[in-house]
Structure 1
Amino acid sequence: MSSNELKELEAQPDIAEVNTQPRFTEANKNPRNGRRKVRWFILFLICLVTAINYIDRAIISLAAPAIQGELRIDPAMMGIIFSAFGWSYTFTMLFSGYFLDKFGPRKVYTVSVIIWSACTFLIGTAKNVTSLIIYRLGLGAGESPSIPTNAWCVAEWFPKKERATAVGVYTGTQYIGLAFLTPVLTWIIVTFGWQTLFYGAGIIGFMIAIAWHKFYRNPKDHKSVTEEELDYIAAGGGMLGSEEKQPFSWARIGQLLKHRQIWGMFLGQFSIMTTLFFFMTWFPTYLIEEKGLSMLNTGIYAAIPYMVAILGTLIGGRCSDWMVSRGYSTGLARKLPIIAGLLLSCAVIGGNFTNSPNLVITFMTIAFLGQGVASTVTGALLSDIAPKGMVGITGSSLYFVANIGGTLSPLIIGFIVSATGSFTPALAFVSVVALIGTLSYIFVIGKVKRIELPGN
């Protein structure tokens, strides 16, 4: 044996030492380790899908004044068109949970994005109220798996102490398109017509569906993930895509509904969605018809609350995870930001007491900031309390009830405005519902812990 070969042999680690070395060392616990970044790429994919999801459902709010003028639609009928999305979205929510538990997020999201992108494109071809309603119904059905699928992916890929941050990041992308593109989108409406918005969004959605199908896998099946990252996720409570799925049954849903945690979240999320859908549907029309802003000025002013809502999602998620990492109880770390956010959402009523565009936008910005904080941490809370193997069913059950708020709010606001000729009582309605959600998290939800069902 040569001297060089001897040196190489001496440099090799002892076999026994290698075999006894723990896979999950203190060094590996550092979440900033460069070998563990696949989960953040997965989060980037979730953000892409979420961004186009909310652009597709919300751009009708920017186009609504033009659509109303061109197709001669009154506020009550426009409220029905807005709410059509919510009816199909809510009705298909439970079924989306079944398909999610059966087929997993990769297949479900691919089909889902293709369906809603096609319906978005078709809205641009609508020539009457009937076709608008039909395409909005299809859009809602296509988007119904989105929230439970996002919660599923975060539960698979992220340890408990990072979940609220991850949810905050993708929740922020709900608003990012409208936050930074609203002035551009309103310019497109004025210059090229409202149909162009829907054609472009639909085409972009098809491209994102291809990217999701190509790159998404659960942690156990992803070729790029390292053992260190898998250990880190598993040690923090991540599912890794290896949990046994619980079969869907109405009996399981019945067992789930016996827990006050679920009912508290039902009321709270109902309130959160009521505020969200006001901004996603009637907000630009409110600025134009109630406060006298022009279309282009509305594009500038309406972008501000969306920008601040992004900040709210990041603040809410980061604060919640910070509290968890500092040893605060999960209940306090999750509920406190939600309660604070819902209280801030009540500020929407402030628009009733001023005609100053700056003050109106200030009140709306505070309200949407609160909505962002509350909605972010709710997603993390869902991951914390869902029974093992039932993230999809639990999420779809929660959002089935919660999205009744998103369905009813544009409809109720439309009839209020049509009956009274004013948005004043409509803003009072949104504010009161936010207050009810606050009380549900204080008095109804109780202790935060993972729900255990018989047979789990």
Structure 2
Amino acid sequence: MQAAQSGRVRYRILLMLFLVTTVTFADRSSLSIAGTALQAGLGIDAVALGYIFSAFGWAYVIGQIPGGWLFDRFGTKPVYTLALFAWSLLTLLQGFVGWLPTTWAVSSLFLLRLLVGFAGAPCFPGNARVTASWFPSAERATATAIAGSAQYAATALFAPLMGWVVQALGWQFVFIILGCLGLALSLLWLKNLYVPREHPLLGAAELQLLEQGGALVDLDQRSGAGGPQWRHLRLLLTQRTLLGIYLGQYCNNAITYFFLTWFPVYLIQARGMSIVGAGFAAAVPAISGCIGGVLGGLLSDGLLRRGHSLTLARKLPSVFGLLLSCSLVLCIFVESDAAVVALMTLAFFGKGLGSLGWTLVADTAPRQILGLCGGLFNTFGNLAAITTPIIIGYLVSLTGSFDGALLYVGANALLAVVGFTLIVGRIHRLELPADGRSAAA
């Protein structure tokens, strides 16, 4: 009742986050939908496709720490808006490489994927800053989960649609359509994103709810002069809690990037589905992952409101969900396509349930360097964007089968459980002292 009476401007901000993150993941997964047709059109093998898949990840990882620093230095709105416009424009340009000679087309596509990765690097550190400033602690996991569930919504919505586009118009139009959509959304984002104290529709009651609930409403006001110091990286890299979270995110993202890159190819090449059929089949686990992600946030915040510790509220959904995601390994032993889709649906429901990494960043990062901490977290997590496509490409090329790939992804899910249970200790906010030499609860 209190939340309803206080106002709902923060939910409008959450809707914008969801839409932007949906387009972000549609852009980064666009190559997987077009992958088989592109592979045939350009005459490249599985290893070459794996490297093209990974190109996004190389630049995305390199851009994380600078992107997080830019947020802490200049604030959320200008950095995020410029990034959204840039990666949408670069996505659009990928649609024109097919008209180049083959060698130039492959090189240009690889380069553009690198640039898309670099331009998109600030996205999730920016999301963490927005949710930390716009949502109290007891709503933060739900808000983060809803925004994060956009990665599954992107596949559920765009995989069938883009599968039809590939078949009807050609793979180039996947990039053209998504690029134009992102450019339009960047204008909407520029018009609607504000920090809490500057939002023209935010009432006093809702601002009070945010402040009293632990939202960092003055986060962007602290951006500017000085910003974070690079010596703070050493501080972040010596915190056991953060190291465990980083490991868990890397392993969780190995599952994500299997889904975003090789999963449609697996359905087409290993299961004999058509491009359109693979698009619809990929949508079912994506919808399940979206549901699991939202439920994970609701469960975590519900445990917190019922008086359980922050540690239990965040760890329980993470560990249980990641254990469920191991079920994708069972696809090795089943024959029917329906069974494969059912197992993947269960696995990605679990993956969504356990995807609370960004909530943990918002809960634990020193408030003065939340962007830098988010960038470092996403650097570790998105190393999987580099390693997963390449490793799977080699496994498929060497064995002629996707069995090794499924085992690899399942092993990462188990390793994430180890990280959350044995390495991450008590979850608490780290504070940055004046001298920056150590952090304390």
Residue of structure 1 in register with 2:115 after alignment: 138
Residue of structure 1 in register with 2:232 after alignment: 252
Residue of structure 2 in register with 1:291 after alignment: 271
Higher Cα Rg, which structure: 1
1:32 aligns with 2:32: no
Residue of structure 1 in register with 2:309 after alignment: 329
State the identity %.
Answer: 36
* Residue 128 of structure 2, aligned match among 130, 151, 159: 151
After TM superposition, the structure 1 stretch with the greater mean CA deviation from structure 2, 444-453 or 230-239, is: 444-453
* Residue 381 of structure 1, aligned match among 346, 360, 379: 360
User: Could you tell me which amino acid in structure 1 is paired with residue 288 of structure 2?
Assistant: V
Residue of structure 1 in register with 2:246 after alignment: 266
Distance in structure 1 (CA, Å) of the matches to 2:51 and 2:184: 30
Distance in structure 1 (CA, Å) of the matches to 2:244 and 2:93: 38
Distance in structure 1 (CA, Å) of the matches to 2:175 and 2:281: 22
Is the contact made by 1:85 and 1:138 (CA closer than 8 Å) also made in structure 2? yes
User: Could you tell me which amino acid in structure 1 is paired with residue 222 of structure 2?
Assistant: E
Post-superposition CA distance 1:186-227 (Å, at most 9, x none): 111111111111111101101111111111110011111111
CA offset at residue 182 of structure 1?
Answer: 2.2
User: Could you tell me which amino acid in structure 2 is paired with residue 104 of structure 1?
Assistant: G
Secondary structure (helix, strand or coil) at the match of 2:222 reads coil
Post-superposition CA distance 1:293-325 (Å, at most 9, x none): 122221221110001011011100000000011
CA offset at residue 180 of structure 1?
Answer: 2.9
Post-superposition CA distance 1:330-371 (Å, at most 9, x none): 000001111111111211211111121011111111111122
Residue of structure 1 in register with 2:101 after alignment: none
Residue of structure 1 in register with 2:59 after alignment: 88
Residue of structure 1 in register with 2:260 after alignment: 280
Residue of structure 2 in register with 1:8 after alignment: none
* Residue 71 of structure 1, aligned match among 42, 67, 75: 42
Distance in structure 1 (CA, Å) of the matches to 2:254 and 2:413: 8
Is the contact made by 2:328 and 2:344 (CA closer than 8 Å) also made in structure 1? yes
Secondary structure (helix, strand or coil) at the match of 2:97 reads coil
1:213 aligns with 2:190: yes
* TM-score normalised by the chain length of structure 1: 0.91
CA offset at residue 82 of structure 1?
Answer: 0.2
Distance in structure 2 (CA, Å) of the matches to 1:238 and 1:298: 42
* Residue 388 of structure 2, aligned match among 403, 409, 419: 409
Residue of structure 2 in register with 1:183 after alignment: 160
Is the contact made by 2:26 and 2:158 (CA closer than 8 Å) also made in structure 1? no
Residue of structure 1 in register with 2:433 after alignment: 454
Distance in structure 2 (CA, Å) of the matches to 1:393 and 1:180: 32
CA offset at residue 236 of structure 1?
Answer: 0.3
User: Could you tell me which amino acid in structure 2 is paired with residue 393 of structure 1?
Assistant: L
Is the contact made by 1:334 and 1:378 (CA closer than 8 Å) also made in structure 2? no
Secondary structure (helix, strand or coil) at the match of 2:308 reads coil
Distance in structure 2 (CA, Å) of the matches to 1:220 and 1:180: 34
Distance in structure 2 (CA, Å) of the matches to 1:453 and 1:99: 19
Residue of structure 2 in register with 1:7 after alignment: none
Residue of structure 2 in register with 1:4 after alignment: none
Distance in structure 1 (CA, Å) of the matches to 2:158 and 2:63: 30
1:117 aligns with 2:88: yes
CA offset at residue 170 of structure 1?
Answer: 1.0
Is the contact made by 2:50 and 2:393 (CA closer than 8 Å) also made in structure 1? yes
* Residue 151 of structure 2, aligned match among 160, 171, 174: 174
Gaps of 5+ in 1: 1-28
* TM-score normalised by the chain length of structure 2: 0.94
Residue of structure 1 in register with 2:439 after alignment: none
Distance in structure 2 (CA, Å) of the matches to 1:299 and 1:211: 28
Is the contact made by 2:245 and 2:360 (CA closer than 8 Å) also made in structure 1? no
Is the contact made by 1:290 and 1:423 (CA closer than 8 Å) also made in structure 2? yes
User: Could you tell me which amino acid in structure 2 is paired with residue 94 of structure 1?
Assistant: I
* Residue 55 of structure 1, aligned match among 23, 26, 35: 26
Residue of structure 2 in register with 1:10 after alignment: none
1:203 aligns with 2:180: yes
1:370 aligns with 2:341: no
1:126 aligns with 2:97: yes
Q: CA RMSD in A?
A: 1.3
CA offset at residue 185 of structure 1?
Answer: 1.7
Is the contact made by 2:149 and 2:293 (CA closer than 8 Å) also made in structure 1? yes
Number of corresponding residues: 426
Is the contact made by 2:368 and 2:432 (CA closer than 8 Å) also made in structure 1? no
Distance in structure 2 (CA, Å) of the matches to 1:401 and 1:136: 19
Secondary structure (helix, strand or coil) at the match of 2:350 reads helix
Distance in structure 2 (CA, Å) of the matches to 1:239 and 1:299: 40
Gaps of 5+ in 2: 99-104, 437-441
1:230 aligns with 2:207: yes
1:398 aligns with 2:370: no
Post-superposition CA distance 1:24-75 (Å, at most 9, x none): xxxxx70111x51111111111111101000001121110000000000100
Is the contact made by 1:256 and 1:453 (CA closer than 8 Å) also made in structure 2? no
